[in-house]
Chains A and B, each alone.
Chain A
């Protein structure tokens, strides 16, 4: 390998890519601007939707209960729900989202309570519909309170204390350090983001430098120069790797900035009570281990090498840009699946999983951001990832020596 030639090829490809709007768009602009924009706007929209739904007073219908004026009066007195007159088409109205929920009182409800008998109140709702869910919560809260009052009255009538039916309380408390809690919560998502960004950042340049060159007719021009195939491959590979890592770095920086700005906005716009609540709970928020986060970046490096080499090899096989895109796009699913598996609860790192590319990185990252360092696994994962990356790079060089690939027609 001739370092001078590798550097020459790399610098030329770098200059060429920096002048290409599409590369800049996919490597720098989209991860820097669009990603935080999507995250922020998606967060804002869902925040607003949920708030709006929460602010709405749900319309509820009471079915039956004509013979139970006491409970009906209590329901009517509850300002958190809006009672609507009972109609026969209540089911359809719930489905049509005109009515959030209906509550059915059994015949003789008041009387049953008076006699100390048990009765069942039924709530009808639209499962998984957010506003219907809020109506159900409100109804449940109301009836639980109503039941507690009834119980308290019955106990008082018998001359018994409230602790008679509640002999002890149950409470749970977290003893795990906060960064471990945070690691468990977001540890799966962080490497998932890194892996996807690595792939996305490498995709466009890999196609442009291989199938794109074939399509534009520059591949033959460079192949007839005295530069050795391996120098050409390594130069191109380094550029794809640079683009891949640049995407990760730029999105990391912009995501960091987004969280800082988003946090400030939330603190300012949240109003007195919300801001105070946020400040109060800030100390209790789960955190992640910053050193672990750095280690995750280091672990992602061999994955970036693997992606760059694999993408170059596949894209080189294609005759033109379009063909390359159709080969490369389905790969995203192959990448996403193992990256996502680490987010499933219960999937833990073991020796066998430590050898599965991508999944191993995702799993170990979860541990790393929790501040847990499994040195033997780390060595195994880093080693195996480097090995896969080297194999992919060797395959790429082999492909560049195959005339059936270079001159496919």
Chain B
């Protein structure tokens, strides 16, 4: 479960003054649900997810992730989330097995638990072939699968995914989407940010449209279609953010 209430993040910029990267965002994401955070580049998606993952501290407002407060219990929050983003790379000089083991240990798993979990993840994600090779030699797809294993090693209740398919080819992106669906089916809480409309249509149970740091529309795909009177998500998005010029 993720609950955000009036979550706000301000940044100070020498030239532009105070920037409201996230501005009073409130939403709830339930277990067994994929919440799609849809927005253009710079809309505030990454900052929102970094606030939830406790990489950043909110300027005001609050949020709980898996029942823990992001402000006061950041380490407990992190122990219950799996965070995957384009900016979360892997250590090139470690093997896939060592990577999984490292994050397993940091999450408090015993060597026996790590060994069992590695076997299980390697079976599910078909990692066996390259489990003992160094990550730096991997293809994008292999890296992505290893990243998923790294994210899931401690079997977190909540998954925070920030544009995880950005820059991936079709096959690698499909692997990610399949894994996200499986996580939802296993009852995990998933928040997924993207600017790709088709991904949202295929994947998300609830959609939140974010623009200039504000949540401007929220609901299931059907609810949004009814509200904006258009079946096309792209059109809905453009209208929600206030026209094409605004969307750009």
Contact = CB atoms under 8 A, between A and B. Distances in A.
Contacts of B88: 217-218, 220-221, 224
A133 to B, nearest CB: 55
Contact of B55 (A5, A218, A403): A403
B248 interface: no
B78 interface: yes
B218 interface: no
Nearest to A225: B106
B78 to A, nearest CB: 4
A41 interface: no
B247 interface: no
A19 B93 contact: yes
A225 B78 contact: yes
Contacts of A217: 87-89
A395 interface: no
Question: Interface size class for chain A?
Answer: 20 to 34
A378 interface: no
Given A19-B93, A20-B93, A226 B55 contact: no
Interface stretch (A8-16, A86-94, A336-344): A8-16
A149 interface: no
Contacts, number: 65
B238 interface: no
Contact of B92 (A4, A216, A403): A216
A407 B88 CA distance: 13
B85 interface: yes
Nearest to B49: A224
Interface of A: 4-5, 8-9, 12, 15-16, 19-20, 216-218, 220-221, 223-228, 403, 406-407
Given A216-B89, A220-B88, 20 more contacts: A8-B105, A9-B106, A12-B94, A12-B98, A15-B93, A16-B91, A16-B93, A20-B93, A216-B92, A221-B90, A224-B55, A225-B103, A225-B107, A226-B75, A226-B78, A226-B79, A226-B106, A228-B75, A403-B57, A407-B56
22 contacts: A12-B91, A12-B98, A16-B94, A19-B93, A216-B89, A217-B87, A217-B89, A220-B55, A220-B85, A221-B88, A221-B89, A221-B90, A224-B55, A224-B78, A224-B83, A224-B88, A225-B78, A225-B106, A225-B107, A226-B76, A226-B108, A227-B106
